[in-house]
Amino acid sequence: MTDALLVAGCTSDAGKSVVVAGLCRMLARQGVSVAPFKAQNMSNNSVVTLDGGEIGRAQALQAQACGLEPSVRFNPVLLKPGSDRRSQLVVRGKAVGTVGARDYIEHRTELRAVVAAELASLRSEFDMVICEGAGSPAEINLRATDLANMGLAQAASLPVIVVGDIDRGGVLAHLYGTLAVLDPADQALIKGFVINKFRGDVSLLEPGLERLRELTGRPTFGVIPYSDELWIDAEDSLGTVGDAAVGRPGRPVGSDWLTVAAIRLPRVSNSTDVEALACEPGVAVRWVTEPSRLLDVDLVVVPGSKSTVTDLDWLRRSGIADAIGKRAAAGKPVLGICGGYQMLGRCIVDDVESAAGRVDGLGLLDLEIRFESEKVLAQVAGFADDIPVRGYEIHHGRVVRSGDGPLLQTVDGGDEGSVAGSVFGTHWHGLLESDEFRRRFLTRVAELSGRSGFVVAPATSVAAVRTAQLDLLADLVEQNLDVAAIRTHARS
């Protein structure tokens, strides 16, 4: 069998995804044939793969770090939360039903076989497979049915490193406690620790690391410093914080900035769509959760949602729906993407996701949506006037009537999306990553907003920005972790 390793974390959002991506990128740059793997992911940030399935966004980015196309092999089980109690279950890229915590347990035997088969297949093909855990291995109440953390490590004989986020405080206790609550068989697989997001003089931390070694008998393989320049795709909604800036906006080319408010819906999905806007110099993007934040911005984006009708109700209760309506009436730009697009229409008939039946939309687009049980999963391409564009679709809602002009034309000559004055909408995720389309769209936003001093940058490439982020991650890993020691354990 090939070398393999499991990167676990003290908590969700501890840095597992970025450590895996950094290791993958560093090894790929050295000519190692490497692949990522996450047995089970819980995230509404997903992408459509070339093999026609759906996986977590983080695994798609990790695949890119390896120089690979995204594949359902890298994330065979995906849970997409639609409420606090139930999630859509996606197996090998296809939705197979909706489950709660208790009935999900009934699927574990079948899912464990799926996970084992996919991991074994990858290990037979690649020199190294770097696996990412889910949540924390210290969730001992779930240990008997675990298939992503120590359950996977035991089944596949994987050495494990545990990542802790020092930004949260108490990281040494987190690392020690994670090890301490495991049973001896699981403890034996924990080879050491990594500390993430450290700020300051690392020598001040060294006495604590030495004491951690004395207490646990395990080394810390390195301390990754906090980097202001790092802001790659969020793994899930934990990375999408209300009233927080997206990215690190560069200085404007012209004299004016463009400001963007992205609505942080309770069940936001594919929140990474707005990152393409944040790549542009002079474009400041912020997640918002209350209506006053919409007063002076140049563009409002209503992103995708895993629970469209429920999040539409939240828009109304929060007062944001009224604020969006007033903006549209004043001719100020609004963009809806996927679920956000559906919310901007006249009505939604949903007997699938929410079972709410017919629900009035915001009425900003002459659009009617009906949900179907079969999910649309597709990579798509088309044109905006003469500009080639690409994206992907993940949704149950279908357009049954549209009275507005289209935003795009598909490659087969069909219409996609809507434009009504200053209101724009599309089902296509990733559309804003089409660089020339994004430039023209932002130029139109500037015109509608009266930002005559805004000048779009001529050569921003979202793909190049993501590549630079991955290389930065690889540099951080190479410079701050004892990768040789980690690889030695991966071979043992």
| Token couple for 231 | 């802001």
CA dist 335 and 441 (Å) reads: 10
AA letter at 435: D
**What's the 3-state SS for 62-122?**
HHHHHCCCCCHHHCCEEEEECCCCEEEEEECCEEEEEEEHHHHHCCHHHHHHHHHHHHHHH
Which two three-digit tokens encode residue 303? 């992103």
DSSP string for residues in 216-275: HS--EEEEEEP-TT-----SSGGG--TT-EES-PPPPSSS--EEEEEE--TTEE-GGGGH
- Of 454, 396, 448, nearest to 427 by C-alpha is 396
Report the alpha-carbon distance of residue 140 to residue 136 in Å, rounded: 9
Q: Alpha-carbon distance 247 to 278, whole Å?
A: 6
Give the Å distances, CA to CA, from 180 to 139, 161, 205, 457.
12, 14, 21, 52
Q: Tally Cβ neighbours within 10 Å of residue 352.
A: 16
Q: Give the residue numbers marked as catalytic.
A: 338, 429
Q: Which of 311, 414, 406 is nearest to 366 (CA)?
A: 406
